[in-house]
Amino acid sequence: MLKLFRKLGIAGLFSVVLSGLAMADEGANGIWKLNSGKVTVRIAPCGPSLCGAIVGLAKPLDKTGRPKVDKKNPKESLRNRPLMGLPILANMKPAGENRWRGTIYNADDGRTYSSYMNLSGNNMKVKGCVGPFCKAMVFVRQN
């Protein structure tokens, strides 16, 4: 009987550890708003990674009243795609507890940067980097 309880205890501990790992991988899923309010992003699984797309803009229209587009994209064929729904975080893979590494696309300059996300409660710091130089942004969970 004691052996049975030990096996059940070990199995229970193992399942708690595995569910904790799954939660860590999914902890960034959801809707996140840049602390300035400029942009809102939905982060969700895409294959084995996390990806993020724009789902809200503080100013969604340009000066002519039309929806903003990806006008700075280096590929001319992509310059007319709307910013709403634009994928900006890609291939974000786990890089430690509540941390991910991948790429971020910046529609303001049309460039893609290496990126790091660090989750802390309802705040997530996202860095875009060129070599050792990084710019950090803080997003706040909305759901």
pLDDT in tens, 112-132: 999 999 999 999 999 999 999
Please enumerate in sequence order all residues whose Cβ is within 8 A of that of 83, keeping only pairs 6 or more positions apart, or say none.
54, 57, 60, 67, 68, 69, 70, 107
Average pLDDT over all residues of the chain? 86
Average pLDDT over residues 2-31: 48
Taking only the tens place, the pLDDT of each residue in 47-69 is 999 999 999 999 999 999 999 99
**Cα–Cα distance for residue pair 22/15, rounded to 1 Å:** 10
**Is the predicted pLDDT of residue 39 greater than 90, yes or no?**
yes
Q: Are 102 and 91 in contact (CB under 8 A)?
A: yes
**Is the predicted pLDDT of residue 1 greater than 80, yes or no?**
no
Taking only the tens place, the pLDDT of each residue in 91-101 is 999 999 999 99
Instruction: Tell me which of 131 and 9 has the higher pLDDT.
Output: 131
Q: What pLDDT, on a 0 to 100 scale, did the predictor assign at position 111?
A: 97
What domains sit in the chain, N to C, each tagged with a CATH number?
Answer: 2-141 (2.40.128.520)
